[in-house]
Amino acid sequence: MKYKFYIVDVFSPAQFAGNQLAVLPEASGISPEGMQKIAREFNFAETAFVLLPADPAHTCRVRIFTPNAELPFAGHPTIGTACVLAMGGHCGPGDTFSLTLEEGVGPVAVDVERRAEGWWGELTLTRGVEQPDFAPNNRDIAAVLSLQSDDVVEAFFASAGLPFCFVQLASSEAVDRAVIDRTAWTIHLGQAWSSNVFFFSGELRDGAGLYARMCAPAKGIEEDPATGSACAALVGVAMSRAEGSSGALSLSVVQGAAMGRRSEIHASARKTGGKVTSISVSGATAYTATGEIEVGSAWLDR
């Protein structure tokens, strides 16, 4: 059976930058095993499959797969899928849309609009961040990244739906110099609260620009050009640390530059009554290609 797919580049207004994403906008009938096989075939960081929603008030259900595993939530597939549905006419005519995507973390709201430079999407989570009361050792994390201990400013765990080990480094040069040591990664992060490593330079303050990279070896992602779910957690952490019981904070993140796939991610958070109440991540999506994939009967629901 043939299924239509789109390939888009997320967190970039132009083709051949940002984070590649394959989206099957009408994926009903494909088994979970088939979805995993298709994601491995595309071999992008993630592939998204659009299904009928459980709640008819919602736009659709979306399942997200890396080459190795299904994810409950991810930023660039959420924004990219919403933009694909808009650009492909699946939301009807118009230039602005408000969608609700059912994902493993629950309903995710995404606003999509057509701008002069192309399509732009913003997802919003009405939740705070989860942080354990322990943190990785700086020396261990330096070994994971093949760096010196004084390159590491701070390391901590956090999640806004997908957990990460965050590492603040002393400079953008250290970010570029970092290389995952698989032995050290297995020892120190292989069984940790999160084995996904998001390392960045820059300060966690309002209006700051960060320079980042992300590696998730356990999920088959040697390096990710853009990680919206990590930026969601990071801006949530920054907001929770900010002075005052209420307010707003924003960050801009450049990622994927060293890979030749520069991504620009915008993240913001709000705090009320001392608690983070909403987190948003936004960016552009560029259309690249459309095609069909043949899915054999072995990979269809029976």
Token readout for 98 is: 């408000």
Q: Given 26, 46, 223, 292, which residue is catalytic?
A: 46
Rounded to the nearest 5 percent, the helix, strand and coil shares of the chain are: 25, 45, 35
Three-state SS at 187: helix
Distances from the Cα of 283 to the Cα of 57, 58, 139, 194, 246, angstroms: 25, 22, 34, 25, 25
Q: Are 285 and 16 in contact (CB under 8 A)?
A: no
Q: Is there a catalytic annotation at residue 292? A: no
Nearest Cα residue to 9 out of 109, 103, 96, 79: 79
Amino acid at the residue 158? A
Q: Which two tokens stand for residue 190?
A: 């292989």
At residue 167, what are phi and psi to the nearest 5 degrees?
-130, 115
Alpha-carbon span 190 to 180, nearest angstrom:
12
Kindly state the helix (H) or strand (E) to which residue 184 belongs, with its residue range: helix 182-188
188-193 long-range contacts, Cβ below 8 Å, gap at least 24? 188/136, 188/137, 188/140, 188/141, 188/143, 188/144, 189/136, 189/144, 189/165, 190/218, 192/136, 192/157, 192/165, 193/132, 193/134, 193/157, 193/163, 193/165
Q: What is the 3-state secondary structure (H, E, C) of 191-217?
A: CCCCCCEEEEECCCCCCEEEEEEEEEH
Size of the chain in residues: 302
Provide the greatest CA pair distance for the chain.
58
What residues are labeled active site?
46
